[in-house]
Structure 1
Amino acid sequence: MSRWIDLTQPITEDVATHPPGHTLPEFEPLATYDEDGHNATRLHLETHCGTHMDAPTHFFPADEYDTIDAVSPAEMITEGVVLDCTDVGRAEAISPERVRAAVAAASVSVEPGDFVIVDTGMDPTTTDPDTYLHEYAYPSVAAAEFLVDAGAGVVATDALGVDAPGASVADHDVHRALLGNGVRIVEGVADLGSVEPGRYDVVCTPLPYAGLDGSQVRLLVRPQ
C-alpha cells in the first residue's frame, strides 16, 4: 500500500502568515515540567497562518455562509488531484488554459467534490520569506471559475494566497469566486516537491472552531 505523505507546515512562532495586520503565533507557557511537574501552553494563534483552510465566512457574513465547523468528516477524508503549475512566472496569474493543461499533463480529470492542489513551486518551508510573501503565482478569477464549474470541493495551493500578492481586501476576487460558491480554500501547503502530479486520497482535518472563519489543518495525501 502507498504511504501517506504529510503536506503540512510545522506551526512555529515564525510560520508563514500575512503581514501587515496578521500576527505571528505566540506560545505562552502556562506550566513547565521543571516547575510544575507537567507542561501546558497557551496558544496565541490566528486562523489564517501556516497550512490552513478558509471557510466561506472568511469573506462572507456568518449568518449566510458556512463557518469552519461545518466541514463534515466525509469532506475531510476524500480524494483529489495534484496539478503542476510550477512553470507559471512569479507573481503571475494562472489562467484556466494553464489549469486545463496541468489536468491533461497529470492524466486526470477534476471530479465533483475533488480536493484540487495547485503546485506553484513556492514551498513555504524552503522559499525565502520575502519571495514567498511577494512573488507567488495565483489562480486568475477565470481559473477559479473553471474549477468551480468542474465541481471542485477545495482548491489548495502551496502559495501564501489565491489572490495577487499585495491585493487589497476589496480585490480578493478569487477568494470570493471560490468561497462564494462553497469551495473552501487551503493555503500554505508544504513539501509538494515530494509528490507527483496525479490523483490522490486526501485527508484534511481543520479543527471545529465554532462559528469561526478558518483553521489550521493537517493535510495528508496518498497516491492512488
Structure 2
Amino acid sequence: MPLIDLSRDITHKMPRLPNHPMVIISDFTTHAEKREVDGYVFSSAVTSLNMGDHSGTHVDAPRHFDERPGAAGIDEMPLENFFTEAVCLDLSHKPLKSDISIEDLQAAEQAAGVEIRRGDTVLIHMDHYRRTWGTEGYITDFPGLTKASATWLGEKGIIMFGVEAASPGRPGRSNFEVHHVCRDLGFTHMEGLVNLDKLVGKGRFRFIGFPLKIKGGTGSPIRAVAWLED
C-alpha cells in the first residue's frame, strides 16, 4: 500500500500570502521544566501553534469564498469529500506566471491516459514548488487556472482540485474568479501541495486529506496523502 505524502512541513514563519496570519511556533513547555506529583518527577513538552486556518497545505471551505448565509464551514463538509478517487495532470511544462487553459487540461488528461470522473479529486502538477521554493516567487509566480479552465473542471462534477501554489488562479482578478467558480459550481480546492511529480503517470489512485474539525472554519490544514495501488 504505497503512500505518497503530499503535504508541506508547517514551520515557524513559513511563507504565506500577505493577507493571511503568520505561522508562529514556539515551546509552551519543555523537558527542562520538571513536575512532581506524589513524589513522582516527570516532564512533558508542549508546542504552541498560532496560525490561520489556511496555513500550509490546506483546503478551502465554501465559507471562505461564498459570502451567502448558510455557506458550509470546514466542520460541515462531508468527510467523504476528503477520501476520493483521484487523478494527477502534468502541467509541469507551463511557464511560470502563465495561465492554464482548457486545452492544457484536455491535453494533460489525454497524456495521462485517464478520464476525469464525477466525484474525483484532480491534482495539478505545475513543478512550481521545485522551481520557486525558497524565493519570493513562490507566492506570486506560479501558473494558474482561469475562470474558463476552472469551469471546465467544475462541470465535470469533481469534488475538488489541488495545486502546489498559494492560490488556484494567478494573483489578481483571475484568482478571485476561480474562487467564485468554485462557489457557483459547488466544488472546492486545495493549495500548498508537494510531491505531485511522484503521481505523474500513475493513473488513478486514492486521495486522502482530512481537515481539522474547526467549528465554523473557513478552511483547514490537511495531511494530504495519495494511496497508490500495489
TM-score, structure 2 as length reference: 0.89
Larger Rg computed on CA atoms: 2
Q: Write out the 4+ residue segments of structure 1 that deviate beyond 3 Å after TM superposition.
A: none
> How big is the shift at 1:209?
0.5
Q: Unaligned stretches of 5+ in structure 2?
A: 35-42
Q: 1:135 maps to which residue?
A: 141
Cα deviation digits, residues 120-144 of structure 1 (max 9, x gap): 1112796233121121001111110
Q: Distance in 1 between matches of 2:183 and 2:161?
A: 10
1:178 to 162, 167, 182: 182
Q: Is the CA contact (8 Å cut-off) linking 1:163 and 1:174 kept in structure 2?
A: yes
Counterpart amino acid of 1:107?
G
Q: Distance in 2 between matches of 1:194 and 1:128?
A: 21
Q: Is the CA contact (8 Å cut-off) linking 1:16 and 1:160 kept in structure 2?
A: no
Cα deviation digits, residues 185-208 of structure 1 (max 9, x gap): 100101222222431111111111
Q: Is the CA contact (8 Å cut-off) linking 1:115 and 1:154 kept in structure 2?
A: yes
Q: 1:210 maps to which residue?
A: 215
Q: For residue 129 of structure 2, give the secondary structure of its aligned residue in structure 1.
A: coil
> How big is the shift at 1:56?
1.0
When the two chains are superposed, the root-mean-square deviation of aligned CA atoms in Å is: 1.9
Q: 2:11 maps to which residue?
A: 12
Q: 1:78 maps to which residue?
A: 84
Q: Distance in 1 between matches of 2:50 and 2:116?
A: 37
Equivalent pairs, count = 220
Q: 1:95 maps to which residue?
A: 101
- Call closer, same or farther: CA 1:125–1:94 in 2, change over 3 Å: closer
Q: For residue 105 of structure 1, give the secondary structure of its aligned residue in structure 2.
A: helix
TM-score, structure 1 as length reference: 0.91
> How big is the shift at 1:16?
3.1
Q: How does 1:1-224 map to 2 (within 5 A)?
A: 2-19=1-18, 21-36=19-34, 37-61=43-67, 63-123=69-129, 127-165=133-171, 167=172, 172-197=176-201, 198-224=203-229
- Call closer, same or farther: CA 1:118–1:94 in 2, change over 3 Å: same
Cα deviation digits, residues 103-158 of structure 1 (max 9, x gap): 11111111111000011111279623312112100111111000111111011001
Counterpart amino acid of 2:7?
T
- Call closer, same or farther: CA 1:97–1:219 in 2, change over 3 Å: same
> How big is the shift at 1:13?
1.1
Identity %: 27
